[in-house]
Amino acid sequence: AQKVTQAQTEISVVEKEDVTLDCVYETRDTTYYLFWYKQPPSGELVFLIRRNSFDEQNEISGRYSWNFQKSTSSFNFTITASQVVDSAVYFCALSGGTSYGKLTFGQGTILTVHP
């Protein structure tokens, strides 16, 4: 069975603060994929990143960065210099290597960035 845990239900920050969203996962698959999705108030699910289990390199994309650590089964997401437009629900998700891409989602973290 696969499981994704996002322990932070809600986070509130002031604009320009850095914020880290935590994600811990469980899987028995040796090959798997980790994802982050953003769900803004409009409701759509916006793909942010996919990371393969065999690639532990951290990734940076603009103000976004991701820290993947297999040793602790974590895939954390940091937003640097947060902006009001970052306010959304963020989901971490896991797909096992043999599951043809089906996703197991965490419960989501509601991020509110105040001006």
Partner 1 sequence: DARVTQTPRHKVTEMGQEVTMRCQPILGHNTVFWYRQTMMQGLELLAYFRNRAPLDDSGMPKDRFSAEMPDATLATLKIQPSEPRDSAVYFCASGFQGFLGYEQYFGPGTRLTVT
The residues binding partner 1 (CB under 8 A) are: 33, 35, 37, 43-45, 47, 50, 52, 91, 93, 95, 100-108
Rounded Cα distance between 45 and 40, Å, is 8
* CB nearer to partner 1: pick between 12 and 107: 107
* CB nearer to partner 1: pick between 4 and 19: 4
| Contact of 26 with 3, CB cutoff 8 Å | yes
Residue 10: CB minimum distance to partner 1, A: 14
* CB nearer to partner 1: pick between 17 and 45: 45
| Contact of 33 with 47, CB cutoff 8 Å | no
Rounded Cα distance between 52 and 96, Å, is 10
| Contact of 109 with 90, CB cutoff 8 Å | yes
Q: What does the DSSP 8-state code read for residue 9?
A: S
* CB nearer to partner 1: pick between 74 and 97: 97
Residue 73: CB minimum distance to partner 1, A: 18
